[in-house]
Structure formats: C-alpha cells, structure tokens
Amino acid sequence: MPTKPTGAVAPADVELEQLRAEVARLRELIGPNEQSYIKLKTDVWSARDAVIGAEAEVGILRGRVRSLEAELTRAIKEQQWFKAEVINRLKSYRIIHRKVIGRVRRTLVK
C-alpha cells in the first residue's frame, strides 16, 4: 500500500483551504456574517407578521364598509318611502281640502 508522504498535502485539504479563502474573500466584499443573516431572518419574520396584521385590519375595514353600505342603502330606501308618503298625504289633503272648500262655498252661496 502506498503511504502518503509526510510533506505533501492531500488534494481535499487544498480544496478545503481554497474554499475557506474564497468564503473569507466574499465576506470581505459583501460584509454580512451569520449574525447578520439571523437579524435578516428576524426582520423578514417581523415584516411577515406586520403584513398578516395589516391584512387582518383590511378585512375588518372591508366588513365595516359593507356594513355602512348596507346601512346607507336602507336609509336611502327609507328616505324615498318617506318622501313618497309625504307627497301622497299632501295630495290627499289637497283633494280633501278642495272638497271641503267646495262644500263650504256651496252652502254659503245657497
């Protein structure tokens, strides 16, 4: 069996050292380390939670808008009914009033 020479470095060790050097070089260029990644993850989770909360508020506000729209529709219908009722009563009072005035005139003219 061949044995390794004691002075020679194995190719895997060389490759490992090259990869470590590359990681160090990239970290110097980019800057973040594992702590920065952890902070970034927590920021992403916080943003996600904020979005979930905002979506919940949007749902609540949509419900309130629909409720207000229903109330407004009901109020408009009531206003239309009331207007029609008042106009009908005024018309009927005018007719009754004409009949009464006509009877009074007839009785006074006789």
Cα separations in angstroms, 62 against 52, 55, 58: 15, 10, 6
Q: Cα separation of 47 and 40, whole Å?
A: 10
103 falls in which pLDDT band (50, 70, 90)? confident
In a domain, 40, yes or no: yes
In a domain, 27, yes or no: no
Q: Cα separation of 102 and 57, whole Å?
A: 67
The 8-class DSSP code of residue 6 comes to: T
Q: Which domain holds residue 79?
A: 33-109
Q: Cα separation of 47 and 53, whole Å?
A: 10
pLDDT digits (tens, 9 = 90+) for 13-63: 888 899 889 888 877 777 666 677 788 888 899 999 999 999 999 999 999
SS3 110: coil
Task: Look at the chain and report how many structural domains it folds into.
Answer: 1
